[in-house]
Amino acid sequence: MSGEDRLSKLAAFTTERPLLLVGCGRMGGALLKGWIGAGIDPAAVLVVDPATANGGSSAPEGVAAVADLAGLPEGITPRMIVLAIKPQVMDEAMPGLKTFTDRGATVLSIAAGKGLAYFKAAFGAEAPVIRAMPNTPAAIGQAIPAGIANAHVDAATRELAELLLGTVGAFVWLDEEKHMDAVTAVSGSGPAYVFYLTECLASAGAAAGLPPELSHKLALHTVAGAGALLAEGDLAPAELREAVTSPAGTTAAALDVLMSEKGLSVLMRKAVTAATKRSRELSR
Ligand SMILES: NC(=O)c1ccc[n+]([C@@H]2O[C@H](COP(=O)([O-])OP(=O)(O)OC[C@H]3O[C@@H](n4cnc5c(N)ncnc54)[C@H](OP(=O)(O)O)[C@@H]3O)[C@@H](O)[C@H]2O)c1
């Protein structure tokens, strides 16, 4: 879709049918930055976040921000409500939002562990709800948000959600909500695994005799550079790996360890299984 087409579709958000962002912290703030960058009219976005009460809102110029729902203009009818608050505060926010879903707003929640059934209980069986899981590279427009919509979300609204989440990365739809736990374990939590891998590589370099600062720099740039090569998408990860592995060379010596029976593959599987299980527990 061309930038112009995207912009004309995003013009569905107007001052009469605004986009309401509830929670403008790390992830809400990243989304808002993406929307404004994509050309959404700032006057068509309203932000609710207690930080505004302390002058701490990260809302960009032109976007009206209020500390709580009571501060919103009376009688507004949002086209969509994006919920970017922590799951722990979700219960208390729900009753105040029902008036908007009753007036036809679609809910797009990015909260971990709050499934479609939770929103059905809060807003009623007919309310259109989309649940999505972004990840931290959203801050630089490099996320891979994944989403699932209930049966009440029409095609135009699905497309709007796709466009909104697409402003922070490459959006994908899921066919089944049950996949959300594994998505959370792979892409939601995944950036932390890569950060930890970088820490491990840096400390292993230091243990091999490098000055720690140099080792940190080498590890960081190696992970970032390898990620950029992967992102080019010309070669699969295994092909890129094989291309740098000469028989009996240094990389092969390291991969013999990493790919051994108790190596990284087994550990990663255990890690993703643990995160999937935890996501399932948190959803209950
Ligand atoms: N960060 C991630 O990597 C990530 C990834 C995937 C999904 N998510 C999901 O995104 C959501 C937000 O996470 P986050 O990391 O952005 O959290 P965050 O930085 O703490 O942002 C949440 C914001 O919501 C505000 N808030 C609290 N209660 C509110 C209310 N009743 N109405 C409006 N705003 C309220 C908070 O203000 P106070 O600080 O004053 O309470 C804070 O500014 C979570 O549900 C999380 O599961 C996050």
- C-alpha dist (Å) from residue 277 to 56, 182, 280: 36, 9, 5
Q: Which of 22, 24, 83, 86 to mutate to test the pocket of ligand 1 (most atoms within 8 A of CB)?
A: 86
Q: What pLDDT does residue 56 have?
A: 61
Q: How far is the CA of 22 from the centre of ligand 1 (A)?
A: 9
Residue 190 CB–ligand 1 contact under 6 Å: no
Atom nearest to 92 CA in ligand 1: 31
Q: Whose CA is nearest to atom 3 of ligand 1?
A: 136
Q: How far apart are CA 136 and CA 192, in angstroms?
A: 9
C-alpha–C-alpha distance, residues 25 and 85, integer Å: 8
Question: Which residue has the least CA distance to atom 9 on ligand 1?
Answer: 111
Instruction: Quote the pLDDT of residue 59.
Output: 73
Note the pLDDT of residue 189.
97
CA angle, residues 52, 54, 59, in degrees to nearest 5: 30
Per-residue pLDDT of the chain in tens (284 residues, 90 and over written 9): 777 888 889 999 999 999 999 999 999 999 999 999 999 999 999 999 998 766 665 677 789 999 999 999 998 999 999 999 999 999 999 999 999 999 999 999 999 989 999 999 999 999 999 999 999 999 999 999 999 999 999 999 999 999 999 999 999 999 999 999 999 999 999 999 999 999 999 999 999 999 999 999 999 999 999 999 999 999 999 999 999 999 999 999 999 999 999 999 999 999 999 999 999 998 87
CA-nearest of 13, 6, 162 to 79 is 13
In this prediction, residue 54 carries a pLDDT of 62
Do residues 185 and 272 touch, judged by C-beta distance below 8 A?
yes
Distance CA 5, CA 18 (A): 19
pLDDT for res 53:
60
Structure tokens at 140: 């630089």
Dihedral of CA atoms 237, 264, 214, 240 in degrees, nearest 10, equals -10
Q: From the CB of 185, is ligand 1 less than 6 Å away?
A: no
pTM: 0.93
The CB of 112 under 6 Å from ligand 1? The reply is yes
pLDDT tens, position by position, 93-125: 999 999 999 999 999 999 998 999 999 999 999
Instruction: Give the gyration radius of the chain's Cα atoms.
Output: 22
DSSP class of 197: H
Taking only the tens place, the pLDDT of each residue in 120-173 is 999 999 999 999 999 999 999 999 999 999 999 999 999 999 999 999 999 999
Q: Which atom of ligand 1 is nearest to the CA of 191?
A: 3
Ligand 1 midpoint to CA 233 (Å): 32
For the chain, give the longest Cα–Cα distance.
Answer: 72
